[in-house]
Amino acid sequence: MVPWLDHRSRSVKESETRAILRAVGLPPATPSHPLDLGDDARAIGDLVFVEHGPVVEFEGGHHQEDRSQYLSDIERFALLRDHAVPYIQVTQESLARPRTLVGTVYRALVSLGYDGPPPDFTDTWRSLFCRVRDLLPPRRTRLRQFAAERGEL
């Protein structure tokens, strides 16, 4: 998952959303990507599928609690709609249902011409939701490897 980290992400939840979408084999989305809407209008998309067009926007709690953020979001989404930019809003509740989130994004991509493989909910996907210790070799093996690396064996 480390190769999926990107310094352009503006939040951990955006990164989590991107990891969920990549884990099933969907094409990579570009974080914090500028959208040229013409008519001197620009916006920044949280996650943009540049080739196919949809924008995935993560709406954290501050988007509801901070009145100025809330109003700014309303204006930004109106701007996207006015320029026919398809977007998907993702909330904390959406992240709690990751398969549904993947299906929503996949259907949006297909409706916009994506003809790549469907989501693959196998090994990489499962690795996102297991305990870290389940991905590691047994503790005894790790200790032996650590000792060997330090020249203690």
- pLDDT tens across 28-77, in order? 999 989 988 887 788 888 899 999 889 999 887 665 677 887 888 888 88
SS3 40: coil
What is the extent of the structural domain holding 89?
Answer: 2-121
- Token pair listed for 123: 């090994």
Quick check: is 146 in a domain?
A: no
Does the structure show a pLDDT above 90 at 149?
no
- Would you place residue 87 in the very low, low, confident or very high pLDDT band (cuts 50, 70, 90)? very high
- Structure confidence at residue 42 (pLDDT): 85
**Mean pLDDT, all residues of the chain:** 85
Quick check: is 94 in a domain?
A: yes
Quick check: is 145 in a domain?
A: no
Does the structure show a pLDDT above 80 at 132?
no
Quick check: is 141 in a domain?
A: no
Q: Contact, 77 vs 45, CB < 8 A?
A: no
Number of separate domains in the chain: 1
- Structure confidence at residue 3 (pLDDT): 67
Q: Contact, 30 vs 48, CB < 8 A?
A: yes
